[in-house]
Amino acid sequence: MKNLLKFFFNQKKEFDMSKFLVVGLGNPESGYSGTRHNVGFDIVNQLCESKNVVLSEDRYGFTGKFKYAGKSIHILKPNTYMNLSGNPVKYWLKKLKIESSNLIVIVDDLNLDFGKSRIRPSGKDGGHNGLKSIIEKINTDNFIRLRFGIGNDFNAGEQTDHVLGKWSTVEQNQLGNLIASSAEMVLHIVKHGIENTMNKYN
């Protein structure tokens, strides 16, 4: 029994619960910049700007870090394509010794109206290829996701054009404040926890 308790204690010590990994999903090429599918990048960029963090190129993407509310926040913008997002997430979780429950993934969501945000502590991929890749690679869906609504106002057969398209003028006029609010949600999760944040923002 003593050895068993020691084993579980050492397993817990393997992860540093004072660390978070915040991942914004998107596609790396410049042609995708400013598209609906890259809003995860935009929210991470806003978060970094608010904390004077400059991202630098690293293994599997661009990374940075800052301290907030006594926690270490590690930022990742993968430079793989969306469908391969699981590889960089798996690598950095392992390298930084961060538990999956302290992973926050920011994604676009067709099933939410434009500008609506939803926070969940876990769940399926919901048809999002980036989330699907992450779940497959880290072998769990037990991680936080912040979903930013991009709406589904498109005709049959036009989903790809909508997702990879630029924001409309009306959307663009509102986007800055919405992205800033989403960045604040990430900080609220770190400081106050997932349940408190869901109660406040969902």
Position 137 scores a pLDDT of 98
**What are the DSSP calls for 93-154, one per residue?**
HHHHT--GGGEEEEEEETTS-TT-EEEESS---TT-HHHHHHHHHHT---SEEEEEE-----
Q: Is 37 a catalytic residue?
A: yes
Confidence at residue 24, expressed as pLDDT on a 0 to 100 scale: 98
**Which of 37, 74, 128, 188 is flagged as catalytic?**
37
Q: pLDDT tens across 62-115, in order?
A: 999 999 999 999 999 999 999 999 999 999 999 999 999 999 999 999 999 999
- Looking at residue 166, what DSSP letter applies? B
What is the reported pLDDT for 68? 97
Structural domains of the chain ordered from first start: 18-201 (3.40.50.1470)
The arithmetic mean of pLDDT across residues 29-36, rounded, is 94
SS3 159: helix
- Report which of residues 11 and 60 the model is more confident about: 60
Pairwise pLDDT comparison (157 vs 136), residue with the higher score:
136
pLDDT tens digit sequence for 143-201: 999 999 999 988 889 999 999 999 999 999 999 999 999 999 999 999 999 999 999 99
Given a cut of 70, whether residue 12 has pLDDT beyond it is no
Q: Above 70 in pLDDT, residue 3?
A: no
The band of 6, judged by pLDDT with boundaries at 50, 70 and 90, is low
154: nearest Cα among 174, 175, 169, 168: 168
Structure tokens at 193: 């926890």
pLDDT at residue 14, rounded to an integer = 76
pTM of the model: 0.92
Res 13 pLDDT > 70:
no
**Confidence (pLDDT) at 100:** 97
Residue 16 has what pLDDT?
A: 85
Within 8 A by CB and 6+ apart from 30, the residues are none
